[in-house]
Structure 1
Amino acid sequence: MKKIFGFALVMALLASCGSGSDGYSLNGTISGELAEGTQVFLKTTDSLNKLIEIDTATVQNGNFSFAGTQNEPKLYYIFLGTGQGSIPFVLENGDIDMKFQKDSLRYAKVKGTVQNDLFNGFQEESRQLQERFNSMRNDMQAASQQRDTATVTSLREEFLELQEEAKNFQINFPKENPNALISAHILGNLMAQRVLSEDEVLEIFETFTPEVKQSEPGKQLQKQLDKVKNTQIGNVAPEFSAPTPDGNTLALSEAKGKVTLIDFWAAWCRPCRMENPNIVSVYNKYHDKGLNVIGVSLDARAEDWKKAIEADGLVWNHISNLKRFQDPIAQLYNITAIPAAFLLDENGVIVAKNLRGPELEAKVAELLN
């Protein structure tokens, strides 16, 4: 089941909504018993998405503060002492007010700037939805223990309705808030989880304000969408090459047939391994008629990759850079989840994506017959 919630989605912000020349002032108030001098850490992420420490403050009388100048609004995190958990917020020029209970960081209130107000509103609605999910799960568990099948069935139906409500909330937020940076992150998350089609994502992205499009998350999403455009149905599949299991190099152009399936998979990917028997069946049935398959593995260990090829009887061409999702071919084709597949005609034009089971065989038969 696809994950619908991504409540700690990263944030950044458009320069036009709160980036003055006077810098930022972050004032925090903590409730609950807390030792004087407890450290508060201000952190963000680097280009590799790793947390880096930016500044440190100490708690005095339940208060702390940070001040400085932020060139571009960006998602930052507050960490309290050595405890677990953090508070995400948008660090941008302006006066930011943060209040929280020392044992309930996830319920922190952050306000004072436009983007933090938007982010806080999104977080609050998300928390309410999550609490409803948790309550419903508890009720289902209790009913199940009491073997109350009627109640379980009723709650299961309500649970599915709530899932749909949560999904629609995340889809509608970027539609209704094209000026919010959170919208760019939500939309990227929806595309990565395949909740929305690439065309739907592109349609929503085009409604965003220029500031959002030019922000850090906006530019990242634009790069992904550019890759999507390059691999849309009707375009010629981008060329690539990579090492084979025996150490040679194989290019897509060398592996093409009358019909070609580019299959992104990995030994560790259970859904991929479950789909492999179907691909084997289709390959055995149509290879002599012109079907070729080239498997692009997103494994990290050559041993695992080679063992899976042998175990699953995958007798077609295989290549891998052994870099998981950092594989340049995966990035070229904007692969964020596997299994993923592209079906090409005799001219190398993409005619279908992510076909499985009977749908794959039907399309291959149509192209070859």
Structure 2
Amino acid sequence: MYHQVLRISFIFLVLMPVLTWAQEKIQLIGSVPFAKDGTKIMIQQAVPDRLKSTLTKDSTVIKGNQFRFDIPASGPEYFYLRIDKRNVGGVFLDVGTNHVMIADSLSKAFSTRNRISNDDYVLYKKTNRLLTDLEGSYRMKRIYYMQYSNGEHVDADTLSQKEKSMEEAFVKWRRSAREAVTDWIRKRPGSPINTKILYEQLDFMPEEEVKELANIIPDSQKTNTWAKELKYRIDSLFIGSTAPDFSQKDTEGVDIKLSDLRGKYVLLDFWAGWCVPCRKANVDLVSAFPKLKDRGFTILGVSLDNERQSWINAIKKDQLTWFNVSDLKGWDNPVRYGYYISSIPANYLIDPEGKIIAKNIPANELTNIIEPYIQKINSVN
């Protein structure tokens, strides 16, 4: 009997950490002094694009100026709250109990337990207040540029000046944001907001710098959604990583799998028939392809089209003789999410072993860029 009790106790002790982890959650207890009973309040988790189909959404009603949410989580996460149709802002919530009061905005939110995440995020925003102004300046100049470019009377010089002003504002904003994130992480490596703010700079920071900063963050702070997706991007989409495999149907309904093309250099090209810059890039790709296709190179086009006939018509008109696939779900194509494509045309160059060796090669430079690789593989053969 003693041995049985001892054995059961041992099993419980072994399983206890697993059970504790599985039961981890974020509990939000909120106070809304101005809200009437029955007012609907909604919460939505902020997540990277690839995970949008799995994000947490929930709603409840306010009673006695109070509300509560219980959300499974393994680390601090960022959420947006909405009362009826009014957005009241975003807040970092930690695993454990979080008490939040909503007066006019979440700038007055506070946490009575594990408050470090939201306090850090508020401090980060306050310390880098200039970033808000720089972002606002860029977005305003972008609006001016778009409005002018779509106007009836467009002067080429004026349009060029507005475009230049917009681009300069963008560069200034992103450079300042990159410097702010780098400075924050180096000075506060253990801050629980680090994985989120670093993730937000992935597309504007050299990959080696991202990896260096990611290594500074201790493993104890790599438990939330942003940390996991940061790891996915580094392990799967950075130069030297093995490109994520996928399969989609071509125009004949035949499944084409990326890994079936191993042994060749593959340009994974994201485009769409409705995309004017993509169609222009196709001209250069069509010109380069005959020189390369019999020398260990091919192209796999992934279309973000919605309509089958439009997609097929574009392939025929542009004379795209390489592999072309699509699920005809437009921007909801899971391959687009898996490769974090935010604009098209976009591409990845993949070597015969399936490793990513280059990204977003200009179509008119493809031959010059791929030629040394092709010479290498042909010399081996």
- Note whether the superposition's TM-score is higher than 0.5: yes
Correspondence for 1:27: 31
Give unmatched runs, 5+ long, in structure 1: 1-18
d(CA) in 1 for partners of 2:127, 2:97: 24
The reply to whether residue 183 of structure 1 matches residue 194 of structure 2 is yes
Asked if the contact 1:109–1:120 (Cα under 8 Å) also holds between the matched residues in 2, the reply is no
Equivalent in the alignment of 2:53:
48
Return the letter of the residue paired with 2:220.
E
**Which aligned pairs between 1:1-369 and structure 2 lie closer than 5 A?**
25-29=29-33, 36-37=36-37, 39=39, 41-45=41-45, 48=53, 52-58=57-63, 64-67=65-68, 72=73, 73-80=76-83, 82-92=84-94, 93-94=96-97, 96-101=99-104, 105=105, 108-112=107-111, 113-124=115-126, 128-131=130-133, 134=136, 159=169, 161-162=172-173, 164-191=175-202, 194-228=203-237, 232-233=239-240, 240-252=246-258, 255=261, 259-324=265-330, 327=333, 329-330=335-336, 333=339, 335=341, 337-345=343-351, 350-369=356-375
For residues 247 and 20 of structure 1, the distance between their equivalents in structure 2, rounded to whole angstroms, comes to: 45
Instruction: Check the 8 A contact 1:41/1:55 in 2, yes or no.
Output: yes
Give the whole-Å Cα distance in 2 for the aligned partners of 1:135 and 1:334: 26
Conservation of the 8 A alpha-carbon contact between 1:41 and 1:56 = yes
Deviations 1:215-258 (A, max 9, x none): 233223323333236xx33x665655431101123344655675
Letter in 1 for 2:118: N
The structure carrying a bigger helix percent of its residues is 2
Aligned residue for 1:10? Answer: none
- Aligned-partner residue type, residue 189 of structure 2: P
CA deviation vs aligned residue, 1:84-116 (integer Å, no higher than 9, x gap): 323211344345343543xxx4x7322332111
| Structure showing greater relative contact order (alpha-carbon pairs closer than 8 Å, 6 or more residues apart) | 1
Give the 3 Å change call, closer, same or farther, for CA 364–98 of structure 1 in structure 2: same
Conserved? CA contact 2:116–2:192, under 8 Å: no
SS of equivalent residue, structure 1 residue 204: helix
TM-score, L = length of structure 2? 0.67
Provide the rounded CA distance (Å) in 1 between the counterparts of 2:322 and 2:26.
Answer: 62
8 A Cα contact 1:174 1:186, kept in partner: no
- Distance in 1 (alpha carbons) for counterparts of 2:312 and 2:267: 20
The secondary structure found in structure 2 opposite 1:322 is coil
Cα distance in structure 2, aligned partners of 1:248 and 1:342: 23
Pick closer, same or farther for the CA change 1:345–1:120 going to 2, 3 Å.
Answer: closer
AA partner of residue 178 (structure 1): P
| Compared CA separation, residues 175 and 56, structure 1 to 2 (3 A) | farther
What's the offset of the Cα at 1:195? Answer: 0.9
How far the C-alpha of 1:355 sits from its partner, in A, is 1.6
**Amino acid of the structure 2 residue aligned with 1:317:** F
Question: How far apart, CA to CA, are the structure 2 residues paired with 1:253 and 1:220?
Answer: 23
Matched AA of 1:77? Y
User: Contact conserved, 2:281 with 2:363, CA < 8 A, in 1?
Assistant: yes
Classify the secondary structure of the residue corresponding to 1:267.
coil
CA RMSD of aligned residues (A): 4.3
SS at 2:53 equivalent: coil
Counterpart Cα distance in 2 of 1:250 and 1:158: 42
CA contact (8 A) 1:257 1:292 kept: no
